[in-house]
Structure 1
Amino acid sequence: MRYARVIVGMNHPQTDRVFDYHIPEAFQDEAKEGVRVIVPFGRRNTKTEGYILSLAEESEIPLEKLKDILEILDDGRPIFTPQMLHLAQWMKEHYFCTLNQCLQAIMPTGIKTKSTWQVLLNEAADVSACKGGELAVLEALKEMGGSSALSELEKLLGSGVKNAIQQMQKKKILFLKQKMIRSEYKMEQRFYSINNHTSLWENTIKKVETDKRLSGQKKLLHLFKEKSEISLEEIKKSGIGESPLKTLLKKGILKERIEQIKRAVFSLEDYEKTTPFFPTAEQRAAIEEIEYQIDLEKKKTILLHGITGSGKTEIYMQSIAKILAMGKQAVVLVPEISLTPQMMERFISRFGQAVSITHSRLSAGERLDQWKKARDGEISVMIGPRSALFMPFSDLGMIIIDEVHDNSYISDITPKYDAREAAKFLAEDTGAVLLMGSATPDLVSYHKARQGEYLLLELKERTGGGTPPKMQIVDMCKELEEGNRSAFSHILQQEIAINLEKGQQTMLFLNRRGFATFVSCRSCGHVMRCPECGISYTYHAKEDVLMCHYCGKTVESPRNCPECGSKYIRYFGTGTQKIEEEVRRLFPRANVLRMDLDTTMGKNSHNQILEAFRKGQADILVGTQMIAKGHDFPNVTLVGIMAADTSLNTGSFYASENTFQLITQAGGRAGRADDSGRVYIQTYQPKHYCITHAAEQNYKGFYEEEILLREMMGYPPFGAFCSVVVSGEVEEDIAKAADVLGGILQTENRGNSYFIMGPVPAMLFKFRGEYRQRILIQGHDEDPLVQFVAKCVEKGEQKVGKGIHFQLTRNPLNIV
């Protein structure tokens, strides 16, 4: 006798464990590891979706107490491979969430099982004693024919109706029945053929030929003289209605075949076949080293550090060709979906139908079909953002992470996983090669490569012998001294005019985060910073104060610059819309496109904007970081970085690193064809090491300065942070809960050396109806630090009331 160890689809910590279920005889063959099931759960035996984690021959629970699995879903086909179950378990332990939350993140979009409750009226019951809310329920049910979904009654009568329903259940006036609704976003195609040339067929033919009333059936049967099988679509195109078809099916003259269609997300006809480029000496050396790692039993993570335009994508493709030749599969992660169309073009042209794509702007059904193609071995390469990592490939040989420095690889919803860390675990678990590429690697990865933990490969030259763009720093303080209060320096205005005259294109990049505001002096460039943390203060307009969101220090907003006495000190921030408006005012004849969150809400809007610009339908493209990464526009010869200071002063110790990356990436868009590019970096801090090194395109110089500061402050990779956000709907309650947790942390810290900052109001103090306080804990070693904080949070949860939530995050990117 076999048993299934099942995790139920609930996120509560108390249900975050394995439950044993008996496998009925009828399900013995279908019950497998990774399969979805319906099981009875809890005292009321509520039907609940679950997932089989493993099978066992024995159970510690007596057979008579074990519940049976009620149903096997998906025709018994597992939706989790063994490797994905391993990954889910690792994510649960690493990112402090339930196993179900991890499985939900891995599970393909487009498969749903929803539980609803139906309220049924007992017609034979005595209703004379009903009163108040019970009468309202009774009247509503009678109007609805004696039954209704519980949710509909709640909408009609309010949430208080539950009490009335409970009382009516006790009196047996009504009953509640659970209903499981399963929906799958699948596409089907219907085909029809003749059932058999029987005497019935002969009689029908004679009848329809002579009876004018049966002209529809006659027309339909005549179609089968030319083809043995006809699709429903062809029948509809012939102008034949559904009635003749239904009649012939009912009589048994025709039979129906239903075929599931897996939707394609591109047409191969739109792409021309390409062959591999002959690699440069640098590329050849990198490819040979990667191929050597592929053949090793114990593989090293590879960091490919190549300047913009050095041909990293060609290295990816030639490495994947070896993987495919071995009969294995590859996943290519890209930082955001605006990159995907261009990556797709290169990969499809090279590998054809072996490639597919997934991203959030495809429909749920389209994403599900790509997942099925990977499961069924119909594709070998999947391209997409971080969720592409969860493809159910049978023999994964390589994971590529393009633009590995990009922060979009970190999920901002639970589970808050880092796809780079998850990819490293998955590569080690499957024996795949992990290849990470960037012109500006994150400092932690580069430090690991320098220390020998990763294999470092470098590309120092552009392919085709192109020269890097000329980058020039523009001091906006001097512009102000000269009376220019515009967002555009004089030199940038002149250069845009020259580009328009030459018929060349310009990109204007604003590296601004919508929620982050800081205070800066426009005369001398001084930025107000916390003296304890070295992090820029954040301006809070409501209280007119500056706050450090690391340690909580608060100071009044200054009226004059404390450095030079100027009155030109204020919070800083200009949006892309205002930049677009000023461009149109300064250059009324220019065709301008804007690419930001507002203009890219539609399904294909990213691709449409980029394609329009690539085809020369606009002279100037204004945008956020969406336009900075990976796009290749041969006619772009000018890039203007409007305000480098905005990302430099976000209140995060990652600010300098992020700013260097953004400037370098944005600058790399200029001069990627025959014409050399020009890049203008507008800033109020022209001597900041981050900006000077970016202008010199000197990654190593920036790394050497930044890594010294990190070491001095104990920031990653020389230390670690752990953030706990305390949230709830009542402001006073979360303040008390945060104080309780803060007290526990201080008490438990005796004898340790952790640095505890807070609690302080989170930068986004109220978010989605909940108030938020934040505590930041700093330590030397990451794992012991996180274990310490998790232990304290567990104690805190036992001391606070209901409605309080604790969210623990490793090395948070920001502290919003």
Structure 2
Amino acid sequence: MADQYASIIIDISHEDVDRVFQYRIPPAILPQIRVGVQVCVPFGSGNRTRTGYVVELTDKPDYDKEKIKEIIGVAEKSITADTRLIELAWWMKEQYGSTMNQALKTVLPVKKKVKARNKKIVETVAGMTECPSLVLLNSEQQSIADAFITSYDSGDRRPCLIHGVTGSGKTEVYMALIDHVLQQGKQVIVLIPEIALTYQTVSRFYSRFGSRICVMHSRLSAGEKCDQFERARNGETDIMIGARSALFTPFPNLGLIIIDEEHEGAYKSETTPRYHAREVAEKLAELSGAALVLGSATPSVEAYAKAEAGIYRLFTLTKRAKVGSEMAAVEVVDLRKEMEAGNKSIFSGRMQELIRDRLQKQEQIMLFINRRGYSSFVSCRSCGEAVKCPHCDVSLTLHNRQRLVCHYCGYQIPMPKLCPNCGSPYLAGFGIGTQKIEEMAAQMFPEAKLLRMDLDTTSKKGGHEKILSAFAKGKADILIGTQMIVKGHDFPGVTLVGVLAADVSLYAPDFAAAERTFQLLVQAAGRAGRGRKAGTALIQTYMPEHYSIQTAAAQDYAAFYRQEMGYRRLMHYPPACHMLCMQVAGEDEELMSRIMEAIAASVKKHFGETAEIIGPVPAPVYKVHDIYRKILYMKHENYDILIKIQKYVKMRWDETERCKKLTLQCDFT
């Protein structure tokens, strides 16, 4: 049998984690060696014994066999929190097509050469009064908690999805589950989208569990993040609350992972490895023997499909937790009819009427502009139809005001002068910003006190909290904002939520556009009537007949899911199948195009009979900072086939000298 070798990291806490050393594996301990295992090795000129972690296995030596040292043995305590994280990194490397170094740098709490500043963390929690208290659960909440605890204690670690309507008290259920797991001497990770990681959210957990909580958010320095991870590793904390990166907290005895608002796009990494926190959490829970709980009022289609298939356990909360609080009444306004009646304002007649009514009653209003896909599609103001691709059922994207392009198959047409559907000349790119809405609202409702919340007004430190706090204290009548205002905030004084343009995300060039639209509309409607006063949500749209808007107005997730999955199955989109997106980018446009065509031809030759291959086509934004980008899509029901395609392309890529001038990025869906 050929010699086997292990690549070993000696000090995983150092920022230079890509410095590995190769050692030969003695045949006697070969069965014990796997990625993640802690071993003892001779290190340095004096062959001093050090411990390290195995990060890769191979039968190919990197240099002269005679000079490669041999592993001494497996460390006494070989299974650690870091072992699991390294195993997880290996899985991510295989699953998402990154290098091992990229995966390691994602999952390991790496120390960087920066001075740690702990003051921010202290400020996050020290101002709160520690008053641990039990939260009384209603019958629905208690039923879920009891079912989870029974299965948890019996060793059932199947992931759970809690589908609860907005305001149904999912957080109270989370806390009951956390309490039980802590009593078992285990630790807990709670993921919350960065946009919802506010003082209001964290304080609820802190009032229940006190100083055993750590908070991880994007405003911490690298040194502060590393210190938080060290506290977790040393047993100084039991609960880590944070955004996506908090998933990699090195707890020694992890017992529960909770992902709140699991449908949020923020859980998908935009850098390599392009992982999804939901998928990685599922693997981490498996490696740790922990439970995974997902929660959302609008679950992702992927998560709900797993629940429907029995892979996840499904729990439902059908009513609001607060006594006297009911779901908002939802009305839909057809903006085509407003246009026919001569109203060209962004505020429909009904919207104006309801805003004046609330101002008179001294009740609060939230106005939401859905800016996803801002100015990206062309629609007709007469019939409401967007110009769509005849092959892909996605809207065409306007390029340079001259041509319309499909980003899925490459179909394109010149910008039409008349609507292809009804012949109207009122055809234009659609989009309007929050600042313009603020100006129009100030003119139309001069007596109202306005607050605006968007990237411009929240860019400074504490911007989110300052605006939300002012609105919560009643210092403004109307809060105008983008999607950040509808993410889990609870304002009892709000009795009207107005969605000014539901269509903007509906026609984004993305197969999941209808899903995102439905989620945003339901989440927006969920901000109204959370106190004792009844709430109303008003949705303005040019496409009131679209199923995502109709089901959102009815707040009927099951109906939406049935129609959306029918569409996904018909078009072979995830989760009905899996999809691999390969993007090639470079400054040399001609070279980039030639290489992309060569990749497409090679993949079709070797995998064309097993995989559906689309493209290459220009990326949604073809040129960024003088870098050109093209995309190749591959679909298959078997995820392993796509992994084989990715590995094949990467092997050919590494063998091709010209590819060194370009970059290749892979993204699995």
TM > 0.5 fold call: yes
- CA shift in 2, pair 1:185/1:525, >3 Å: same
- CA shift in 2, pair 1:637/1:55, >3 Å: closer
1:628 matched residue in structure 2: 486
Aligned-pair CA distance for 1:343: 1.9
Aligned-pair CA distance for 1:380: 0.5
Give 3-state SS (helix, strand or coil) of 2:280's partner.
Answer: helix
Amino acid at match of 1:771: Y
Q: Is the 1:262–1:370 Cα contact (8 Å) retained in structure 2?
A: no
1:503 matched residue in structure 2: 362
1:285 matched residue in structure 2: 143
Alignment of 1:12-51 (within 5 A): 19-20=21-22
Aligned partners of 2:137, 2:488: CA distance in 1, in Å? 20
1:6 matched residue in structure 2: 8
Q: Is the 1:306–1:458 Cα contact (8 Å) retained in structure 2?
A: yes
Aligned-pair CA distance for 1:794: 2.9
Selected match of 1:319 from 177, 198, 201: 177
Aligned partners of 1:716, 1:64: CA distance in 2, in Å? 50
Amino acid at match of 1:744: S
Selected match of 2:226 from 359, 368, 371: 368
Aligned-pair CA distance for 1:583: 1.8
Q: Is the 2:90–2:100 Cα contact (8 Å) retained in structure 1?
A: yes
- CA shift in 2, pair 1:800/1:487, >3 Å: farther
Selected match of 1:334 from 149, 169, 192: 192
**Is 2:22 the partner of 1:92?**
no
- CA shift in 2, pair 1:84/1:486, >3 Å: same
Aligned partners of 1:68, 1:803: CA distance in 2, in Å? 38
Alignment of 1:340-419 (within 5 A): 340-419=198-277
Aligned-pair CA distance for 1:99: 1.1
Give 3-state SS (helix, strand or coil) of 1:332's partner.
Answer: strand
**Is 2:409 the partner of 1:551?**
yes
Q: Is the 2:370–2:505 Cα contact (8 Å) retained in structure 1?
A: yes
**Is 2:391 the partner of 1:532?**
yes
Q: Deviations over 1:37-69 (max 9, x none)?
A: 9x99xxxxxxxxx9743799x997878624899
Aligned-pair CA distance for 1:580: 1.9
1:103 matched residue in structure 2: 104
Q: Deviations over 1:365-421 (max 9, x none)?
A: 432332222112111111111101011111001000001111110001111110000
Aligned partners of 1:17, 1:645: CA distance in 2, in Å? 50
Give 3-state SS (helix, strand or coil) of 2:347's partner.
Answer: coil
Using the size of structure 2 for normalisation, the TM-score is 0.89
2:31 matched residue in structure 1: none
Alignment of 1:747-762 (within 5 A): 747-750=605-608, 752-762=609-619
- CA shift in 2, pair 1:568/1:262, >3 Å: closer
**Is 2:650 the partner of 1:778?**
no
- CA shift in 2, pair 1:341/1:528, >3 Å: same
Q: Deviations over 1:748-767 (max 9, x none)?
A: 234x1422221111111122
**Is 2:561 the partner of 1:561?**
no
**Is 2:336 the partner of 1:477?**
yes
Aligned partners of 2:60, 2:372: CA distance in 1, in Å? 54
Aligned-pair CA distance for 1:527: 1.2
Aligned partners of 1:722, 1:107: CA distance in 2, in Å? 26
Aligned partners of 1:799, 1:562: CA distance in 2, in Å? 46
**Is 2:634 the partner of 1:704?**
no
Between the two proteins, the alignment pairs up a number of residues equal to: 636
Give 3-state SS (helix, strand or coil) of 1:808's partner.
Answer: strand
Q: Deviations over 1:675-734 (max 9, x none)?
A: 111101010001111101100111111111111121122222221211110111111111
Amino acid at match of 2:505: S
Deviates more, 1:674-683 or 1:264-273: 264-273
Q: Is the 1:735–1:773 Cα contact (8 Å) retained in structure 2?
A: yes
Aligned partners of 2:117, 2:200: CA distance in 1, in Å? 28
Q: Deviations over 1:547-596 (max 9, x none)?
A: 11000000111111111111111111112222222222222332222222
Q: Is the 2:618–2:630 Cα contact (8 Å) retained in structure 1?
A: yes
Amino acid at match of 1:186: A
The higher radius of gyration belongs to: 1
Aligned partners of 1:517, 1:284: CA distance in 2, in Å? 46
**Is 2:666 the partner of 1:808?**
yes
Aligned-pair CA distance for 1:267: 3.7
Aligned partners of 2:65, 2:376: CA distance in 1, in Å? 62
1:466 matched residue in structure 2: 325
Amino acid at match of 1:597: L
Give 3-state SS (helix, strand or coil) of 1:416's partner.
Answer: coil
Aligned partners of 2:449, 2:80: CA distance in 1, in Å? 49
Q: Which runs of 5+ in 1 are unaligned?
A: 23-31, 41-49, 70-76, 113-182, 189-260, 812-816
Aligned-pair CA distance for 1:265: 4.2
Q: Deviations over 1:151-188 (max 9, x none)?
A: xxxxxxxxxxxxxxxxxxxxxxxxxxxxxxxx242359
Aligned partners of 1:290, 1:516: CA distance in 2, in Å? 45
**Is 2:641 the partner of 1:767?**
no
Q: Is the 2:116–2:221 Cα contact (8 Å) retained in structure 1?
A: no
Give 3-state SS (helix, strand or coil) of 1:264's partner.
Answer: helix
Q: Deviations over 1:439-489 (max 9, x none)?
A: 110112112111211100011111124211010001011111111111111
Alignment of 1:632-671 (within 5 A): 632-671=490-529
Give 3-state SS (helix, strand or coil) of 1:578's partner.
Answer: helix
Aligned partners of 1:749, 1:381: CA distance in 2, in Å? 46
Q: Is the 1:487–1:642 Cα contact (8 Å) retained in structure 2?
A: yes
- CA shift in 2, pair 1:453/1:290, >3 Å: same
Question: Matched residues, percent identical?
Answer: 44
Q: Is the 1:293–1:433 Cα contact (8 Å) retained in structure 2?
A: no
Aligned partners of 1:582, 1:423: CA distance in 2, in Å? 45
Give 3-state SS (helix, strand or coil) of 1:368's partner.
Answer: helix
1:587 matched residue in structure 2: 445
Q: Which runs of 5+ in 2 are unaligned?
A: 25-35, 45-50, 72-77
Q: Is the 1:529–1:535 Cα contact (8 Å) retained in structure 2?
A: yes
Q: Is the 1:101–1:415 Cα contact (8 Å) retained in structure 2?
A: yes
Give 3-state SS (helix, strand or coil) of 2:196's partner.
Answer: coil
Amino acid at match of 2:477: D
Q: Deviations over 1:173-207 (max 9, x none)?
A: xxxxxxxxxx242359xxxxxxxxxxxxxxxxxxx
Q: Is the 2:195–2:484 Cα contact (8 Å) retained in structure 1?
A: no
Aligned partners of 2:539, 2:427: CA distance in 1, in Å? 21
Aligned-pair CA distance for 1:779: 2.2
Aligned partners of 1:386, 1:65: CA distance in 2, in Å? 42
Deviates more, 1:712-721 or 1:527-536: 712-721
2:75 matched residue in structure 1: none
Alignment of 1:414-493 (within 5 A): 414-463=272-321, 464-493=323-352
Q: Is the 1:580–1:594 Cα contact (8 Å) retained in structure 2?
A: yes
Aligned partners of 2:366, 2:55: CA distance in 1, in Å? 54
Q: Is the 2:374–2:430 Cα contact (8 Å) retained in structure 1?
A: no
Alignment of 1:670-749 (within 5 A): 670-749=528-607
Aligned-pair CA distance for 1:797: 4.5
- CA shift in 2, pair 1:33/1:556, >3 Å: same
- CA shift in 2, pair 1:97/1:59, >3 Å: closer
Give 3-state SS (helix, strand or coil) of 2:530's partner.
Answer: coil
Q: Deviations over 1:300-337 (max 9, x none)?
A: 11000010111100000011000111111100001124
Amino acid at match of 1:526: E
Amino acid at match of 1:355: I
Q: Is the 2:53–2:83 Cα contact (8 Å) retained in structure 1?
A: no
Amino acid at match of 1:366: E
Q: Is the 1:263–1:369 Cα contact (8 Å) retained in structure 2?
A: no
2:32 matched residue in structure 1: none
- CA shift in 2, pair 1:491/1:270, >3 Å: same
Alignment of 1:125-204 (within 5 A): 183-186=113-116
Aligned-pair CA distance for 1:784: 1.2
Aligned partners of 1:88, 1:606: CA distance in 2, in Å? 34
